[in-house]
Structure 1
Amino acid sequence: MVNIIINTLSKFGFTEIESKVYYELIKNPNSNGSQIAKILNLPRTSVYSALDKLLKKGCVFLLAENDSNKYIALESSKLLKKLKKEYMEGIELLNDEFKKISINDENNQYININGEEIFFEKIREMIKNAKEEIYINTNFDLNLFEKEFLELKKKKIRIILFTFEDIDYSHLGIEVFSKKFTGKCRDDYKRMMIVIDMKEACIGEKGRNKELIGSFTKNRLLIDIVTEHIHHDIYLTNLSNFYNIDMNKIKINTKHENLFN
């Protein structure tokens, strides 16, 4: 119990000796510095220094009825009320001052994300913040975000998905543009690209037995690149379907293309 009190008081600006002296005065009021030092087995100079600081903090009081310099502690309930008031005033002051800071977004343009749980939590946060449109390219199951998408469906926020899978997400309010993939498909490979309101983007990938690694950004260039990538996939798919084009005939024989042959 003693250690808990001392350790907790240290979080409110009390030194270890100040905490011990205050605790001792709670147990044994009307004590002087020499008596406290003897009980705590501490140097008298350290104890009197702590008493002086506690006096200035209003946590102990010097009795005026005699010349023996005896002290009493502020009642614990009043101390807690005092600390709570000071703590809340400090929080309010910091809140006001932080609002005055002009944040440079460049410092937070790229945030690396490691781990599936953290990545998906970031995606959920982004989806919740959407106000206008969402663009997605993924082969992850979007039912993972069912709750968030259903909320956007109520708000009539447009959600556009390009995928190489034949899948229906109409129950989530998602417009699906799909192109059946004819090359070699790696079932163990998962990826996601998502853009929210043309203001922020997140990309991530996961291979077999590998941790999901991603990156979140508000960088204008990367947002444009991901957005254009998703749009061009949809444009090519629509052109292919409309004109019945064999997409193999427009390939340009690159290393990237050969990965899927």
Structure 2
Amino acid sequence: MKEFKFTESEAKVYISLLQNGPSTGYELSKVSGVARSKIYNILEALTLQGILEINTNNNSNLYQAIPPSHLAAILETNFKNNLLKLEEEASRLTLKEKNQTIWHLEEWQSIFTKIKMKIAETEKSLLVQIWVDELDEELIQLINEKQETIKNVSVVLYDTKKEYSTSLKHYYAHGFEQNKLTEIGHRWITIVFDQTEVLYCTVPFEGVTKAIHTENPILVFFASEYILHDAYCLRLIDQFPEQIKAHFGEDMHGLRDIFSGN
């Protein structure tokens, strides 16, 4: 009960009533261990909250506790009402200017939850770079739903095994994963939401997962171009594999040799 902001004395009174049945304030003070100087104020407060019921016959007040299931329903209703009030009040707030701060996040579950929430809120476009290791069914479903509803969704998928075993409906298989891991040393996630916000997350093989997210337009632009140009190149490879292999080699190693000029 303390987790729901009840004081220790309030919890003792409620539990004592459940265990002993209807009681007067005097009786409750004895069985609960709450001082008589405090018991009546607590009984009044709990009664006003609808957690206790009162009978005033026979010139003495008799109290009984509502069942735990009823208490749970009251707490749930109060929580939902407060949440709605918070959303209504927050919706009235407007930012004077676009926030370009770079925000840092740590702890994988917190980062992963934010990714899912932001994807669910996306309305116009979604650009994603991600490894199969970081996909779960909920995230896959969210991306698939966006591909059906907003259309402007592009996913570049990485898999060290090059199996790309996933239920994602549309994606570009990268194909050069080992090269990227050698260059960078860890997996990562890059997502651009509605061309207005970017989230970049490093996923090290050991250590703490970290991420940044920002609405800074310069960083959003660079992240968008990075993902889009990956998709452009991979689409060409998908469409003309034989011609590209004939020019750059069977493993296309020469394709990444951009400094030779050949």
Aligned to 2:209: 212
Report the 3-state secondary structure (helix = DSSP H, G, I; strand = E; otherwise coil) of the residue aligned with 2:58.
Answer: coil
Shift in CA distance, 232/162, structure 1 to aligned 2, threshold 3 Å: farther
Contact 2:22 2:64 in 1 (8 A): no
Deviation at 1:45, TM superposition (A): 1.8
Q: What is residue 72 of structure 1 aligned with on the other side?
A: 62
1:100 and 2:100 aligned: no
One-letter code aligned to 1:73: Y
Match of 2:103 in 1: 110
**1:200 matches 2:192:** no
- For structure 1, which runs of at least 5 residues remain unmatched after alignment? 1-7, 251-261
- Residue 9 (structure 2) pairs with residue 17 (structure 1): yes
Tell me the TM-score normalized by structure 2: 0.58
Kindly indicate whether the alpha-carbon contact (under 8 Å) linking 1:22 and 1:73 is maintained by their aligned counterparts in 2.
no
Equivalent residue of 2:182, what SS?
coil
Contact 1:113 1:216 in 2 (8 A): no
Q: Which residue of 24, 31, 35 corresponds with 1:31?
A: 24
- Cα distance, 1:176 vs structure 2: 6.4
% of aligned pairs identical? 18
Name the residue aligned to 1:256. none
Over 3 Å counting, the alpha-carbon distance change for 1:20 and 1:103 in structure 2 is: farther
Q: TM-score, normalised by structure 1?
A: 0.58
CA distance in structure 1 between the aligned counterparts of 2:33 and 2:219, rounded to whole angstroms: 64
Match of 2:251 in 1: none
In the TM superposition, what is the alpha-carbon distance from 1:198 to its structure 2 partner? Answer: 0.6
- CA offset at residue 102 of structure 1? 3.3
Q: Structure 2: how far apart are the matches of 1:73 and 1:119?
A: 48
Q: Aligned to 2:152, which of 133, 157, 177? A: 157
Larger radius of gyration: 1
Instruction: Please give the per-residue CA displacement for 1:97-116, whole angstroms capped at 9, x wherever unaligned.
Output: 3333336773985242443x
Deviation for aligned residue 1:223: 0.7
Deviation at 1:72, TM superposition (A): 0.7
- Aligned counterparts of 2:193 and 2:15: Cα–Cα separation in 1: 55
Deviation digits for residues 113-138 of structure 1, max 9, x if unmatched? 443x6555554554454444443456
Secondary structure of the residue that 2:29 maps to in structure 1? Answer: helix
Match for residue 248 of structure 1 among 220, 236, 259: 259
Instruction: Write the letter of the residue equivalent to 2:192.
Output: V
- Aligned pair count reads 232
Listed one character per residue, the Cα deviations across residues 14-36 of structure 1 (whole Å, up to 9, x for unaligned) are 43334434554563546353x44
Q: Residue 198 of structure 2: SS of its match in structure 1?
A: strand
Q: Unaligned 5+ residue runs, structure 2?
A: 237-243, 249-254
In structure 2, how many angstroms separate the alpha carbons of the residues matched to 1:162 and 1:55? 58
Tell me the alpha carbon deviations over residues 125-159 of structure 1, each in whole angstroms, 9 at most, x when there is no partner. 54454444443456x34893654444444444341
Give the superposition deviation at 1:62.
Answer: 6.4
Aligned-partner SS, 2:192? strand
1:226 aligns with 2:223: yes
